[in-house]
Amino acid sequence: VLLVFGKEDGQSDGFWWAAEKLGYRCTIAGTPENALETYLKYQYDVVIIDARSANHNCFDAEALCRSIKATKASEFTVLVAVTKR
């Protein structure tokens, strides 16, 4: 599981804990560049992206999703966006 969060908070900690408890290996990426590089290197099955606020994260979550989906490796990847209520 690749977690893409601009900064660690309760949400990122919760996803990390849940994935680890279910036996999944977790990696956190703090920038879109790092996330894409890490994704291409390890080809994660699940990518969870913090899309709660562009200002909060300092990156465009939608653009990152498009970049990941544009890769051949993403054919079976599940992208999950964490949004505000």
User: Rounded CA gap, 84 and 50, in Å?
Assistant: 10
Residue with tokens 């920038």: 31
* Domain coordinates in residue numbering, the chain: 2-82
| pTM (predicted TM-score) | 0.90
- Which DSSP state fits 6? S
Q: What order do you get walking across the sheet with 2-4 strand by strand?
A: 27-29, 2-4, 46-50, 78-82
At 2 the three-state DSSP class reads strand
Task: Note the pLDDT tens digit of each residue in 2-60.
Answer: 999 988 899 999 999 999 999 999 999 999 999 999 999 999 999 999 998 765 556 78
User: Rounded CA gap, 52 and 34, in Å?
Assistant: 19
* Fold of the CATH domain 2-82: Rossmann fold (3.40.50)
> Is residue 4 within 8 Å of residue 48, measured between CB atoms?
yes
pLDDT at 77 over 90: yes
Phi, psi torsion values for 46, nearest 5 degrees = -130, 130
